[in-house]
Structures are given as structure tokens and as C-alpha cells.
Structure 1
């Protein structure tokens, strides 16, 4: 027990810089005040939110008003809501309408003027924002709810589409 590595370590909390078993002395640490901590949190939140892509309900509705990009898709989607009361089956029908032959997509301009891409596949819609390539994914059951709310509020079909629909139905 004579070698240095065999000596018992001291449990003391001394201030010797050559020792590896030092304890932190909290009285000497610079702890920020509550105001400084709040300021740091606010600054971090502002930095995070200024670069974060936010997908608004209005942006979602704008994209959904395009339909599936197939001819007369909005009328077929409208028909799904008129004939199918089951929400799960409507969501499945939307998936088939948007991606009948697999994944697809189109460019998209957001309401703030920024651009991006709108992907659709069997799982749902993905909104991508450029140039940061942030993505927000909506499953078909979420898309179904948005379209349902739009139809209930008479915000899905344009006046021109309503006229066309009246001509078809009469």
C-alpha cells in the first residue's frame, strides 16, 4: 500500500487544482439571476420561432381546395362526403383519390408568398417548405377532418364548381 495509486483518496472538498477528486464549490459559481434566465429563454424562443415553418389552417385549406390535381377531383371528393358517412372510409377514399397510382406531388405557394412542395401518398399529405425543407405531415384522417369542416362551412367548392355541380345534378 505504499504506491501513490494505492493510497486512499481524501473525501475533502479542497481547492487543490492538481487533484482530480475536487468538489464544485457552488458559492463561487456564477449563477444567472431569474431575469437573466428568462431573457435567455425568450431569446432562444424568438430564434427558434423566427426560423420555424408554421403551417396555418388557411394554408392547409388552400392546398385542399386544389383537389387531387386530377380532372374533376373536387367533385369526386364532394361526392365522397355526400355518400359516405363513415369518416374512416372517407379517409381511405381520399387516399385513393390523391394517390391512385402511388405517390405524387406538386409545387405549392404558401399564403405568405413562400414556396414549397406538396407530396401525397397512401399515408397522407406532406407539406414541404423551401428553402429550409421543413416538413409537416397530415395523415388522411386529419385531411378528412379538414375537408369535412370546409364542406360544413361552405368553403370547399368555388362558386364556379357549385354551378358546374348544379348542372351535373339537374
Structure 2
């Protein structure tokens, strides 16, 4: 004690606006209840999901009309849609159409005019926006 670099003790609670070493007084802070915190988290989560990209059926059909970039692929895809009414079985058939050609992709313009990327592999189509 008594060294030149030591600050003298003060009786204040750190409320002097001219000082850089202000203290936070937790007794004055409004701490939200558990229910308020849960509500804030739920609201933040719903805001995240409401801004998610929505892919329309028309955009999917537009991509399928391009084909898999291999001979007669457009015809085979059209036949899948004409002969397979079950959605899950149709998805399996489309995956088989793309599987032999290996992974690939191309740029894609969505119906709203925005741009993205379309990948295809044995698992099917992946749209990036």
C-alpha cells in the first residue's frame, strides 16, 4: 500500500460518468423471468424459420424439365411423371435417373428471377438459393 500507482479508495458505487471504470449494479438490473426468457427464445426461433427459402413445385418442375444433361433424360423424366403417381416412388425413380451420371450441377434461375445452384447426385436434387 502507499505506492504511487495505487488509486485511493472511494466510497462511490461507480456511478461517475467521467470515469472509465464504471461498475454494473446488478440490484438495479431487470432480469427476465424464466417464462420471459423462453418466450424470447421461441420468438427468435420463429423469426429464423419464417425467413427460410421456400421452393415451389413449379421451380422443381422447371429444374426437372432441364433433364440430367444426358441423352434422352428429359423423356425418361417425363415418363416417370406420367407413369408413377406415388410421390415417394417417383422420387426414387428420379434418383435412379440421376445416379448413373454421378454428381453434377449447374446454375439455376428461379421463377422469381433470383439465382442459385442446382446439384444432382444419386440422392436426388439439391437446390441452393
Taking structure 2 as the reference length, the TM-score comes to 0.52
- Distance in 2, Cα, partners of 1:111 & 1:48: 23
1:127 deviates by 0.9
The answer to whether the Cα contact below 8 Å between 2:109 and 2:115 also exists between their aligned partners in 1 is yes
Structure 2 counterpart of 1:77: 77
1:29 deviates by 7.0
Per-residue CA shift, 1:62-91, capped at 9, x if unaligned? 222322233432222223455567876654
1:105 deviates by 1.2
1:37 deviates by 7.0
| CA spacing shift, 1:69–1:32, aligned 2, 3 Å | same
Structure 1 counterpart of 2:47: 47
Alpha-carbon RMSD? 7.9
1:107 deviates by 0.9
List aligned pairs for 1:1-170, cutoff 5 A: 30-32=30-32, 40=40, 44=44, 48-49=48-49, 52-82=52-82, 90-128=90-128
Taking structure 1 as the reference length, the TM-score comes to 0.42
Please say which of residues 89-98 and 105-114 is displaced more in the overlay.
Answer: 89-98
| CA spacing shift, 1:34–1:78, aligned 2, 3 Å | same
1:98 deviates by 2.1
- Distance in 2, Cα, partners of 1:4 & 1:85: 87
The answer to whether the Cα contact below 8 Å between 2:14 and 2:21 also exists between their aligned partners in 1 is no
| CA spacing shift, 1:49–1:12, aligned 2, 3 Å | same
- Distance in 2, Cα, partners of 1:4 & 1:92: 80
